[in-house]
Every structure is written in C-alpha cells, then in structure tokens.
Structure 1
Amino acid sequence: MLKKILAGLAAAILLFVGFVATRPGTFTYQRSAVLPVSADIAFPLVNDFHRWTEWSPWDGLDPQQKRTYSGPESGTGADYTWAGNDQIGEGRMTITDSKVNEQVTIRLEFIKPFAATNTTTFTFSAAEGGTQVVWAMSGENNFISKAMGLFMDMDAMIGKDFERGLATLKDVAVADAKKHAEAEATRAAEKARAEAEAAAQPAEGAPAVAAPATP
C-alpha cells in the first residue's frame, strides 16, 4: 500500500514538474497612461533616479531604506541601489540607454529576497491630451517563477504597482508643469520690465532735451 502511495506521489510530482516546464520561458508586464504634459516634463522624472522617490509605488514601503546613487546625475550610466525591509528587499537599477523625451531602458537587478535580472523600459510618445508613457518589464521565467505563476496572477500584481506609480507620476508631472509655467511667466515679466526700463532711458550719447523756458 505504501509503495502505491509513494509511486502515486512520485507520478504526481513528475506531472507537476513536466507541466511547469511547459509554461512560457519569458514574461512581459506592461501598463500605460497619458500624462497631460509635454514629454520634456515627464521624461526627466524617469531619467533621473533622484526623482523616483516622488512617484515610485515602492518607495514608501520602507521609509528607512538605504539608497545609494552613483555614476552620472541622470541618463545612461546612472546607477541606483536600494536595501530595505522584506517588502522591498535589495537590488540595483542602471540606466543602460536613454533617448531624450523618447525612452529610458533600465537593467533591473534583484538581489534579495530572490535573485533575478530583468529589463525595464519607459517609452514616451505624443498622444491626444499630452504624452503617453508606457512602463514595461520583461525577463526570463525560471522554474520557481513558472510555478508561482500557476498560483498567482503576476501580471495583475505587478500591473497594479505600475498603475499606482503612473498615477503618482502624473500628479508630479502636472505639478512640475505648473512650476515651469510660473517660472516662464516670471522670466517673461522680468524681460518685459527690463525692456521697458531700457526704452525709457535716453539713448547713449544723445543730447538731453531742454525743458521750455517759463515766460
């Protein structure tokens, strides 16, 4: 009897392993949103890791996490590492390619609680009402991730984080656009005032016009 049970268990395990092996070897999770701003406003928020603390859906999960920035301030070569609690783990992001106002490609390395290396891309394109931002992550499925996919909807789980991050990115971008508009208005007003003051001054070298004599 015990031999039959063990044989049945072994057969079930083999069937499970065989089924898991047939699952897709790669994955891509993707979400998008239209931000009511121009690409030159939205792009820097992604291209500069220092700005991620303002909109990343994971940043607030551990206020005490350790962050390290290295390489260029932004763009290709910029590097960011984090280490925190069990919710965010430990990892590194490196911008491997950056096309101004068009795309940011990131090498995403997870160190803890599990090791994995994926590729994250943000693409920016003109859309009705502003700029469409597409956030995607792709990589390879190992046996564990294939097995996890049988019991959890990974697209829904990760997609939910992407959606939350894009919503916050929209708020930050709108606030930045407002600041840019206010700064531009201030510069325009200062320029107009300076031009008016210059026009009110007599031309250099021109004789002053004497006031008419009083009879």
Structure 2
Amino acid sequence: MKAIPVFAHRGASNSCLENTFAAFKKAQSMGADGIELDIQISKDGILVVFHDLDLKRLAGKRRNVSDCSFKELQSYKLGKRFTRRFFGHSIESFQTVLDWANEQQMPLNIELKQSLLMNEAAFRQFLVAMQVPKNSHFSSFHERLLRIVKEVRPEMETAYIITKKFDWTTIKKPSFFDTIHAHKRYYKRHYLNNCEEAAMGIRFYGIVGNEPFLKNPHPAVKGWITDFPDKVQKAQLN
C-alpha cells in the first residue's frame, strides 16, 4: 500500500521551535512529505508565519501580531524565556518561506488564522499572484477565510478544520472546502465512511506514530499531520 503523505506540524516542532526555518528544514531532513504552518497578518498587511494571535508565549510581549508592523515583529526574538535573547529565532514573512518551499518543491498545508479577517484586502491581494508548490492546500477553522480563497483562487484546495459542532451531513454538498482536517479522535469508521461516500478526503492531526491505523488506513485518508514526521513515516512502512 502506498504511504499516506505526512505533513510536519509547524515543521518538526518536537525537535525545533515551531514555525521557524529550523523546524521546516529539520522536517525536510526527517522525510516529511509536506509542512503545515500558520499564517497571521501584521498591522501593515504583511503575511507572517506565526501561530498565536499574540506574542506572549513565544516572544514574551503583550502585543497582538496584528497590532505590530512587520519591522517591529522582526525585531522580536522567539524561543524559551531564558534563551531567546541570545539564541532566539525571528518571525518570517510568509513570502520568504513560500520562496523556499517553491525552490524545494515542498508542499505546504497553509493554516489561515483569525487575524487575516482584520485585513481581507491584503489577504486577497496576496492570493492573486501567489504560487505554491504542487500538492499544497489551505486549511482553517474559519469558513470566511476558506470562502475568500475559493473566490480568488477557485483551483486551490481548501480544507475545513472541524470541531465537535461540525455537521457531517454537509460533506455531501460542500461550498467552500474540498477536504476535512480533523483530530485523530475522529478516526472512527462511521465518519470515515461518510467521507468515502461523499468522495471527500480527510487528513488527521495529532498523530504521534504509534496509532494502529497507520499501517492500514481507511481509503478516505489523504494525509497525516504530526510533530513527529520521521516516526509516522517509519510506522507506515513497518
């Protein structure tokens, strides 16, 4: 059986600081088939690679990403509290990471975060000319952002990240998503059969590499999202 593509969650985030070039390059060296990353937007309309709405956890600053200019964001060092001043990483623009991914032909799972709703015009403008590696796609918890992608770039794959409120009957008539992304707790036969009947693919996140279903996945599965890309690849092949 052909192995299911493995996307490294925020890069190899168990080994390196999340959403940094160090994490992305480490994931590549571990054999990841693609990289999942998160996109926020700065005050001046620059898309940046960062997960949280604010800078407190990774930069120690009580500031929202969307309240800072890109220049200001780049001045902050990211990492653990007592080491980031000297060994910290910088916030990267999405364009910089995208250039690298295109050069490496590394597929991206681009998760669109809430702050993008604060500057839809800048997001739309970026989408118009954007080129992504083959087999890349957009994902989000926010329906509005996926609808924007479909309006501007209808050929792009979109994936809806579901919650417990999700109505599984809607997969038979989706209007803004092509694929479902779900936590591995939803790896249940009735959900998977619903996807298969609707010809709807599904990717699962929260995978660690010891799940029994990795060796014989349901036909509806089209991707794994994990902090441990090397372990998941190994589990699929053994």
- Rg larger for: 1
More helix per residue: 1
TM-score category, normalised to shorter length: under 0.3
Bigger strand share: 1
